[in-house]
């Protein structure tokens, strides 16, 4: 094992673990959000379908009004829950992207430290038609500069290739001003340290 990989193992392992934990939290929050949205839909229907009709008795009218008022209050509470969940999901999404970007930074820095730049590094395995080293290098640059929304031609070329071969999640137009680091880790299959280690050893022999 190259010394750089050994020196960064603690950070890399923990970043991958954090990314997994955040991903699990995000899935839980997304499930909660779907539940709240379903409840909100039911209460909205109940509220809007509680018609007041002149043919009904006063008791029925009062009962219908009470049901509408209760449904409205429940709907308002669910809307507050919905807003809270949506904000929490957004926070976890940003956290995952930041963690993924940090791991790409470690990988890219290894290429720089060992080989002095991208050109001298081994290609590594193929991700579609793109080389591993190109994906790491350009994805790190995208994750570092996504807030600017402007990228050099090498970044644009790599992400155009990923979009064409892997899907719209890599579109820098659809996802303008958004880091795609998490999506890159997914396509690399870096869900465990063993997979990450195997790739890094191929680049830093």
For the chain, give the percent of residues with pLDDT over 70: 85
pLDDT digits (tens, 9 = 90+) for 71-117: 667 777 777 877 888 888 888 888 889 999 999 999 999 999 999 99
Q: Is the pLDDT of residue 173 over 90?
A: yes
pLDDT exceeds cutoff 60 at 151:
yes
d(C-alpha 74, C-alpha 113), whole Å: 58
What's the total number of domains in the chain?
A: 1
Q: Please state, rounded to an integer, the average pLDDT across all residues of the chain.
A: 86
What does the pLDDT look like over 177-194, one tens digit per residue?
A: 999 999 999 999 998 899
What residues are paired with 130 via a beta bridge?
A: 127
Q: Residue 181 belongs to what domain range?
A: 3-203
Instruction: In whole angstroms, give the CA distance from residue 42 to residue 37.
Output: 9
The answer to whether residues 141 and 150 touch, using CB atoms and an 8 Å cutoff, is no
Considering Cα of 125, then 131, then 134, then 139, what sign does the dihedral take? negative
């Amino acid at each position: 094992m190259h010394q750089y990989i050994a020196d960064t193992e603690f950070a890399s392992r923990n970043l991958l673990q954090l990314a997994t934990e955040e991903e699990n939290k995000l899935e839980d929050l997304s499930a909660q959000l779907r539940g709240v949205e379903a409840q909100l839909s039911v209460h909205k229907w109940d509220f809007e379908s509680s018609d007041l009709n002149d043919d009904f008795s006063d008791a029925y009218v009062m009962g219908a009004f009470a049901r509408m008022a209760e449904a409205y209050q429940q709907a308002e509470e669910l809307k507050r829950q919905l807003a809270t969940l949506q904000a929490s999901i957004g926070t976890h999404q940003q956290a995952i992207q930041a963690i993924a970007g940090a791991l790409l930074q470690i990988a890219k820095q290894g290429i720089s430290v060992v080989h002095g730049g991208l050109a001298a590094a081994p290609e590594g395995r193929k991700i579609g038609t793109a080389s591993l080293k190109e994906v790491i290098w350009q994805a790190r640059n995208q994750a570092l500069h996504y807030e600017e929304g402007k990228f050099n031609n090498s970044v644009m070329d790599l992400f155009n290739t990923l979009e064409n071969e892997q899907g719209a999640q890599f579109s820098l137009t659809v996802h303008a001003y958004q880091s795609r680091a998490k999506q890159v880790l997914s396509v690399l299959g870096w869900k465990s340290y063993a997979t990450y280690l195997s790739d890094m050893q191929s680049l830093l022999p």
